[in-house]
Amino acid sequence: KMAEPLPDIKSKHSLVAKHVTGPVWEKLSRAVTATSGFTLAKAIACAVQFDNQHCGIYAGDWDSYKVFADVFDPIIQEYHGISPDATHTSDMDVGKIKGNIDPSAPVHSTRIRVGRNIDGFGLS
């Protein structure tokens, strides 16, 4: 089966426009994730549809990061300013948190968003 043509990406200055090139599209456009049947076309739909996206990509499931790594890896690296060999270390020891909280600062509230995913289900 031949690949569909590379869609017109309306967000011309997005990271998707930079990293989803013709050769990358040709390589990955027919790939489908095992968990939820997600495709590269679905992942970049917002950059194709809208002209104001900075990144322009969403993962449909955990598999998206592996199946479409040729797109996700450079976008994540550029967005976060990290090198390809960077590693993530998770340390939940609250005693190691260092800060400089100024009691006179006018912060009245804040919000922290945490998300969990269930293995085998698509992200939503």
Rounded (10°) CA dihedral 99, 83, 67, 49: 80
The closest alpha carbon to 7, from 16, 75, 84, 88, belongs to 16
pLDDT tens for 33-58 read 999 999 999 999 999 999 999 999 99
Predicted local confidence at residue 1, as pLDDT: 64
As a residue count, the chain comes to 124
- For the record, the structure tokens of 74 come out as 């450079």
Does residue 15 surpass a pLDDT of 80? yes
Listed range (16-20, 34-38, 73-77, 111-115) with the worst mean pLDDT: 111-115
For residues 1 and 109, give the distance between their C-alpha atoms in angstroms, rounded to a whole number.
54
Q: What Rg, from alpha-carbon coordinates, does the chain have?
A: 18
**Average of pLDDT values for 94-101?**
80
